[in-house]
């Protein structure tokens, strides 16, 4: 049989509605525009700029060298699950084990956890409430699961409050997806706001899914009593979705974990068995040591970079102070009379790569800037953006 260069099948007619419904063109367009830049000042990056801590690298390398390269149990290797439970007991006093109605499994990235959770919760037409602006994956979960992602406008303060959530609840609502610290805004909900959401969801029989991928990157003032604000402190009726990629600089290792109601997590494990099978084995062995690594010096450094960003835009543009993560969501000054996409095109023409808010929102008024970048590069980029805004 010969292989022909041109296709004779109409692949488009064969693709499912869900494949047609996913449109990644927004973000691709930005990268297409930037493709010709030789050495762009890249403030678009969604991952930290530090190397994986040596202890974690060593553990992953030792796992490979020690022939631990086969499948792990679907729920994750013993060492990692032990480490996760130690952490949950310490942080939330969550008791371990099915007899307490709780379970935890390792997932293929935070994305893997979110995807399995929504697949387990949403039948056709069932609704999940998400914030707008949102992490790009959230709306895509609609077509992928046949559920409906109901985006709640959180402008201008970017707080997904109980009041805002309540207005979006319908008889089809099953869950609320929280993301604090948030991508793309960095906004961190406070303990009271979280308690109000927990009370509302309890009253309405809704599950909270808490995407806490940026939990470690929560700056000092957003940690009341030194604690990271999470619904897990107030209820066990929430699914914690966490990741290792951002915290330890290993986004490519595809590793996260979920913990929460036993019956849900076990349903997710069953789906994982027939999809991802298990999270990458050497990465699991690597991050089993992660909770012992102190990332605070890096978090402090990111806090200083946040200060650089806030200072750069002072007096020229509105930017909501991020309490965590490593993003600023900056409003394009109205007097420039530009959409965010138009402003981003100007920035790219001046060698600075940022992402228009439209990629994360129904509005096109802001841009996302990442300060996960070396201080001198960040300073140069901020200087150029400031000038463009003063023009």
My answer on whether omega of the bond before 133 falls inside 30° of 0, hence cis, is yes
Tokens of 251: 């986004």
How many C-beta atoms lie closer than 10 Å to residue 142's C-beta? 21
- DSSP helix/strand/coil, 7: coil
Interaction between residue 260 and ligand PMP (CB under 6 A): no
Binds ligand PMP (CB under 6 A): choice among 135, 253, 313, 329: 135
Contact status: 44 vs ligand PMP (CB under 6 A): no
Q: Which of 42, 44, 103, 110 binds ligand PMP (CB under 6 A)?
A: 110
In the bound complex, what is the minimum distance in angstroms from residue 183's beta carbon to ligand PMP?
4
Q: Which stretch binds ligand PMP (CB under 6 A): 12-20, 103-111, 224-232, 376-384?
A: 103-111
Q: Is 324 in the site for ligand PMP (CB under 6 A)?
A: no
Give the residue closest to ligand PMP by C-beta. 109
Which position among 142, 243, 328, 356 is part of the footprint of ligand PMP (CB under 6 A)? 243
Residue 50's φ and ψ, nearest 5 degrees, are: -105, 155
Burial tier of 98 (Cβ tally within 10 Å: 0-12, 13-18, 19+) = exposed
Binding residue for ligand PMP (CB under 6 A) from 147, 256, 356, 357?
256
Residue 259: half-sphere exposure toward Cβ, Cα within 13 Å: 30
What CA–CA distance (Å, rounded) separates 265 from 263?
6
Contact characters 51-90, ligand PMP, x per CB under 6 A: ----------------------------------------
C-beta of 234 vs 244, nearer to ligand PMP: 244
> From the CB of 101, what's the least distance to ligand PMP, in Å?
25
Sign for the CA dihedral angle at 78, 80, 84, 90 comes to positive
Among 40, 42, 43, 46, binds ligand PMP (CB under 6 A): 46
Quickly list DSSP for 124-140: TT-EEEEEES--THHHH
Q: Which one among 147, 231, 245, 260 touches ligand PMP, defined by CB under 6 A?
A: 245
Smallest distance from the beta carbon of 11 to ligand PMP, in angstroms? 28
Closest CA to 53 of 231, 227, 297, 267: 297
**Strand pairing class (355-356; 352-353):** unpaired
The CA-based angle 300-130-296, given to 5 degrees, is 10
Q: Which of residues 159-218 bind ligand PMP (CB under 6 A)?
A: 179, 183, 211, 213
Tracing tokens 């957003």 back to the chain, one arrives at: 222
Where on the phi/psi map is residue 383: left (φ > 0), alpha (ψ -120 to 50), or beta? alpha
What is residue 289's three-state secondary structure? coil
Q: Is 133 in the site for ligand PMP (CB under 6 A)?
A: no
CB of 44 to ligand PMP, least distance (A): 12
Q: CB burial class (10 A; 0-12, 13-18, 19+) of residue 164? A: middle
Q: Report the residue count for the chain.
A: 391
Is 371 among the residues that bind ligand PMP (CB under 6 A)? no
Least gap, CB of 34 to ligand PMP (angstroms): 18
**Could you tell me if 238 and 208 are in contact, meaning their C-beta atoms sit under 8 angstroms apart?**
yes
> In whole angstroms, what is the distance from residue 241 CA to residue 280 CA?
17
Instruction: Please identify, among the stretches 31-39, 106-114, 166-174, 257-265, the one whose residues bind ligand PMP according to the rule CB under 6 A.
Output: 106-114
Applying CB under 6 A, the span of 56-64, 109-117, 124-132, 371-379 interacting with ligand PMP comes to 109-117
Distance CA 340, CA 355 (A): 9
Token pair of 91, please?
């942080």
Candidate ranges 37-45, 70-78, 108-116, 352-360; the one touching ligand PMP (CB under 6 A): 108-116
Question: In the bound complex, what is the minimum distance in angstroms from residue 98's beta carbon to ligand PMP?
Answer: 26
- Provide, rounded to whole angstroms, the least separation between the CB of residue 271 and ligand PMP: 16
Instruction: Tell me if 111 contacts ligand PMP by CB under 6 A.
Output: yes
Contact residues: ligand PMP, CB under 6 A: 46, 109-111, 135, 179, 183, 211, 213, 243, 245, 251, 256
């Amino acid at each position: 049989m010969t292989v022909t260069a041109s296709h004779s099948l109409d692949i488009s007619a064969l693709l499912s509605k869900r494949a047609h419904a996913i449109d990644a063109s927004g973000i691709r367009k930005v990268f297409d525009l930037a493709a010709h830049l030789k050495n762009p000042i890249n403030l678009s990056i969604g991952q930290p700029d530090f190397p994986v801590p040596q202890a974690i690298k060593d553990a992953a390398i030792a796992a490979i060298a020690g022939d631990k390269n086969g499948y792990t149990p679907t729920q994750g290797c013993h060492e990692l699950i032990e480490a996760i439970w130690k952490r949950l007991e310490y942080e939330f006093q969550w008791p371990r084990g099915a007899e307490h109605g709780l379970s935890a499994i390792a997932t293929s990235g935070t994305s893997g956890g979110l995807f399995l959770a929504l697949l387990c919760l949403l039948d056709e037409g069932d609704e999940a409430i998400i914030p707008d602006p949102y992490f790009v994956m959230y709306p895509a979960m609609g077509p992928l699961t046949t559920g409906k992602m109901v985006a709640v406008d959180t402008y201008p303060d970017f707080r997904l409050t109980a009041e805002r959530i309540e207005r979006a609840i319908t008889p089809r609502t099953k869950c609320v997806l929280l993301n604090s610290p948030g991508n793309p805004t960095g906004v961190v909900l406070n303990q009271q706001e979280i308690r109000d959401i927990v009370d509302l969801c309890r009253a309405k029989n809704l599950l909270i899914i808490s995407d806490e991928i940026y939990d470690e990157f929560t700056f000092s003032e957003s940690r009341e009593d030194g604690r990271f604000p999470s619904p897990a402190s107030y209820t066990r009726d929430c699914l914690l979705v966490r990741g290792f990629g951002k915290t330890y600089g290993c986004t490519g290792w595809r590793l996260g974990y979920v913990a929460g109601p036993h019956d849900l997590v076990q349903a997710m494990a069953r789906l994982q068995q027939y999809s991802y099978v298990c999270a990458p084995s050497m990465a699991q062995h690597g991050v089993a040591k992660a909770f012992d690594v102190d990332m605070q010096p890096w978090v402090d450094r990111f806090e200083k970079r946040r200060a650089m960003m806030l200072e750069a835009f002072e007096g020229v543009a509105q930017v909501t102070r991020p309490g965590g993560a490593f993003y600023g969501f900056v409003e394009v000054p109205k007097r420039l009379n530009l959409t965010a996409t138009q402003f981003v095109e100007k920035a790219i023409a001046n060698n600075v790569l940022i992402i228009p808010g439209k990629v994360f929102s129904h509005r096109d008024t802001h841009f996302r800037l990442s300060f996960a970048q070396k201080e001198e590069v960040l300073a140069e980029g901020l200087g150029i953006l400031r000038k463009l805004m003063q023009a």
